[in-house]
Amino acid sequence: MKKQVDIFTSLTRITDLAESPFDIRALPREHWQMGDYVVCDITDAGGNSLLIELPNGRMRGVIGGESIIGALGVRHATLEATGRWEEVGADGKMHVLTGAGLFGKLTSKSVYLPPLMQLQYRGHVFRGGNKLGMEDFVSTVPQQPLNTPVVLFFGTSMSAGKTTSARIVTHLFKSSGYKVVGAKLAGAGRFKDILAMKDVGAEAIFDFVDVGLPSSICPVPVYREKLKQLLSRVASVGADVVVVEVGASPLEPYNGSVAIEMLKPNLRFAVMSASDPYAVRGLMEAYGMKPDLVTGVASNTLAARELVEKLCRVRTVNFIDPSNSPLLRQLLGRATGLSLNPENNANTKRHSTVPD
């Protein structure tokens, strides 16, 4: 007997859909909602380089004609593609907007991006006569305040180096004996970004998928309530420090500015990952927030670093260069009050301070 679904995408990682039975029923277009789980047939596999992210974070190639399950959502990426589930017509034709399984109708695409996978809607996921969406697999947790120091990474755009830098900082704290939580509060649902922090020792990792959002593009009141739940989950771990990535830039519709606003009481150190020196100046002027450091693509050469510091009067550090680790340990320790000595013992050195 043919399998009901061939590919479960990473947006199903909060569910039991791969293990427990469900029904597939076509729904009239007017009953669709953001976050609904839908099953589609892949009618065109798109470019040869396109892969699907599985619930465990691994990547998988596809074959035309396979079936796939993902969630309806919105993507509005500056460098790759934009699309919305609301644009899907009565014919049920749509696209895979991200490898995580974000489904919607493509509205624009970079010329440098290969053709996206094309889908034909088969039906919604049902169980016990009820339509299932991401929120149906999310339990409400008691709200609790976040009192943990936060190191924030935000950027001038996608692909500016935020995830790589956040991974390095997670490692610096972990290697000094501290309990670290990694979190991504805005973006389009890829699991690999927070897995990168888990891979270098984060005690726990969270993102907006954990509270039922396929991407963080949603009405601000909805996002605020979801973020309260997400931060309560982070707080429950009892970590020494939280390393937070805000995807895209704060000026894009991913609600990154809302996330930064809600983190401010705990914000101890802010790092901007920038695509170029002029983008640093532009974001600082447009958003009105001066970072403690600039890194990413704009820190790769002496020329770029000099230009950032001339234009913006902000220190620039290439996090990837291991010779900069002692400086990063010093700056992060001073900001958070945690001594970032790699020889620290987690039980005896925790919460010790760094002298000025």
- DSSP H helical ranges for the chain: 162-175, 192-199, 220-236, 256-263, 277-287, 302-312, 325-336, 346-349
Q: Given the DSSP bridges, would you call strands 7-8 and 67-72 parallel, antiparallel or unpaired? A: parallel
pLDDT in tens, 302-356: 999 999 999 999 999 999 999 999 999 999 999 999 999 877 654 444 444 333 3
pTM over 0.85: yes
Would you state the torsion angle of the CA atoms of residues 72, 24, 190, 261, taken in this order, to the nearest 10 degrees? 50
Provide the residue count of the chain: 356
In this structure, what token pair is assigned to residue 28? 């009239």
Angle, CA 40 vertex, CA 36 and CA 46 arms, to 5°: 120
Give the residue among 203, 146, 144, 148 at the shortest CA–CA distance from 336: 148
In this structure, what token pair is assigned to residue 229? 């739940």
In this structure, what token pair is assigned to residue 10? 């990473």
What's the start-to-end Cα distance of the chain, in Å? 69
Judged against a pLDDT cut of 70, whether residue 290 lies above it is answered with yes
Amino acid at 13: R
- All structural domains of the chain, each given as residue ranges with its CATH number in brackets, are 7-135 (no CATH), 150-349 (3.40.50.300)
Q: Which residue has the tokens 């532009």?
A: 282
pLDDT > 90 fraction of the chain, expressed in percent and rounded? 79
pLDDT in tens, 194-237: 999 999 999 999 999 999 999 999 999 999 999 999 999 999 99
